[in-house]
Structure 1
Amino acid sequence: MKAKRFTAKNMQQALRMVSDELGPDAVILSNKRVGKGVEVIAALDYQEMANEQQQQEIDRQLALQQELEQAKQSTGKIRQEQPVFDQSNVSTTAALKEALQGIKEGTIAQSAALDAVMLSEEDLQQSISEKAATMSRDEATPFLNQVTAELKDLKNWLVSQQGNAWNPTRPLSWQQAQIWQRCQDLGIDPSWADKLVSALPEDDDDIEKGWAQCLKYIAEDLPLADNNMLQTGGCFAFVGPTGAGKSTTIGKLAAQYVINHGSDNIALITMDNYRIAAHDQLKAFARIMEIPLLVLEPNGDLSAMLDQLSDKKFILIDTAGLAIQDPHFSVQLSMLKGAGNRVKTLLALPLTSQARCLQENYEHFKPAGIDGCIFTKLDECFSLGQAMSIASVTRLPIHMVTDGPHIPDDIHFPNAQKMVRLAEQMARMAQARWQTSEVSSAMNNNFMQHGV
Structure 2
Amino acid sequence: MKVKRFVAANMQLALKMVSAELGADAVIVSSRRTDEGMEVVASSEMLDTTDTNKQSELDRQLRLQRELEAAKQAARSSAALRQSQFDAVGAGTSEPGTESRIQNTPTSDISDARREVARMQAEKQQAEETYQTRLQEMQGELRELKDWLVSHQGSAWDTRRPLTWQQSQLWQRCQDIGLEPAWADRVVSMSDQSGDLEQAWKSALSVIQSDLPLLPQGVLEKGGVIALVGPTGAGKTTTLGKIAARFVQHNGPDSVAFVTLDNYRMAAHDQLQAFARILGVEMKVVLQNGDLAKTLTTLRNKKLVLIDSAGLASQDPHFSSQLSMLKQAGADVRKFLVLPLTSQARCLQENYEHFKPAGLNGCIFTKLDECFSLGAGLSVAALTRLPLALITDGPHIPDDLHYPDTGRLVNLAEQMARMARTRWQAAEAMNMATQQQSFQHGV
* TM-score computed with the length of structure 2 as normaliser: 0.71
Q: Does 1:76 align with 2:66?
A: no
Alignment of 1:58-77 (within 5 A): 73=53, 76-77=56-57
The alpha-carbon deviation at position 137 of structure 1 amounts to 7.4
User: Which of 188, 191, 194 is matched with 2:182 structurally?
Assistant: 191
The separation in 2 between residues aligned to 1:299 and 1:378, in whole angstroms, is 35
Letter in 2 for 1:234: G
User: Which of 247, 258, 264 is matched with 1:257 structurally?
Assistant: 247
8 Å Cα contact 1:175-1:205 kept in structure 2: no
Match of 1:298 in 2: 288
SS for the counterpart of 2:254 is coil
Q: Which sits farther off after the overlay, 218-227 or 248-257?
A: 218-227
- Give the share of equivalent positions with the same residue, in percent: 54
User: Which of 401, 410, 416 is matched with 1:426 structurally?
Assistant: 416
**Cα deviation code 1:242-293 (max 9, x no counterpart):** 0000000000000100111111211011111111111111111111110001
Letter in 2 for 1:413: Y
**Cα deviation code 1:188-214 (max 9, x no counterpart):** 111111111111345x35111111000
Q: Does 1:181 align with 2:181?
A: no
Q: Does 1:169 align with 2:160?
A: yes
Letter in 1 for 2:384: T
Letter in 2 for 1:183: C
**Cα deviation code 1:64-84 (max 9, x no counterpart):** xxxxxxx985982416789xx
Alignment of 1:279-294 (within 5 A): 279-294=269-284
8 Å Cα contact 2:259-2:283 kept in structure 1: yes
SS for the counterpart of 2:138 is helix
The alpha-carbon deviation at position 146 of structure 1 amounts to 3.5
8 Å Cα contact 1:272-1:318 kept in structure 2: yes
User: Which of 189, 192, 204 is matched with 1:214 structurally?
Assistant: 204
SS for the counterpart of 1:197 is helix
**Cα deviation code 1:306-359 (max 9, x no counterpart):** 000000111110000001111111111111111011211100010000000000
User: Which of 300, 303, 310 is matched with 1:313 structurally?
Assistant: 303
SS for the counterpart of 1:294 is strand
Alignment of 1:28-427 (within 5 A): 73=53, 76-78=56-58, 142-201=133-192, 204=194, 206-427=196-417
Letter in 2 for 1:176: Q
The separation in 1 between residues aligned to 2:393 and 2:52, in whole angstroms, is 66
8 Å Cα contact 1:375-1:401 kept in structure 2: yes
8 Å Cα contact 2:388-2:404 kept in structure 1: yes
8 Å Cα contact 2:192-2:203 kept in structure 1: no
Q: Which sits farther off after the overlay, 229-238 or 137-146?
A: 137-146
The alpha-carbon deviation at position 148 of structure 1 amounts to 2.4
**Structure 2 spans left out of the alignment, 5+ residues:** 1-50, 63-124
The alpha-carbon deviation at position 172 of structure 1 amounts to 0.8
SS for the counterpart of 2:339 is strand
The separation in 2 between residues aligned to 1:321 and 1:150, in whole angstroms, is 59
The alpha-carbon deviation at position 143 of structure 1 amounts to 4.7
Q: Return closer, same or farther for 1:77/1:447 CA change in 2, 3 Å cut-off.
A: closer
Q: Return closer, same or farther for 1:279/1:72 CA change in 2, 3 Å cut-off.
A: farther
**Structure 1 spans left out of the alignment, 5+ residues:** 1-70, 83-133
SS for the counterpart of 1:293 is strand
Q: Return closer, same or farther for 1:144/1:410 CA change in 2, 3 Å cut-off.
A: same
Match of 2:31 in 1: none
The number of residues matched between the two structures is: 330
The separation in 2 between residues aligned to 1:327 and 1:79, in whole angstroms, is 90
SS for the counterpart of 2:257 is strand
Letter in 1 for 2:265: R
Q: Which sits farther off after the overlay, 136-145 or 286-295?
A: 136-145
The separation in 1 between residues aligned to 2:53 and 2:131, in whole angstroms, is 16
Letter in 2 for 1:156: D
8 Å Cα contact 2:214-2:389 kept in structure 1: yes
The separation in 2 between residues aligned to 1:223 and 1:374, in whole angstroms, is 12
SS for the counterpart of 1:235 is strand
Letter in 2 for 1:220: S
8 Å Cα contact 1:236-1:343 kept in structure 2: yes
Q: Which sits farther off after the overlay, 184-193 or 135-144?
A: 135-144
8 Å Cα contact 1:180-1:197 kept in structure 2: yes
* TM-score computed with the length of structure 1 as normaliser: 0.70
SS for the counterpart of 1:317 is strand
8 Å Cα contact 1:189-1:385 kept in structure 2: yes
8 Å Cα contact 1:176-1:200 kept in structure 2: no
Match of 1:449 in 2: 439
Q: Which sits farther off after the overlay, 282-291 or 442-451?
A: 442-451
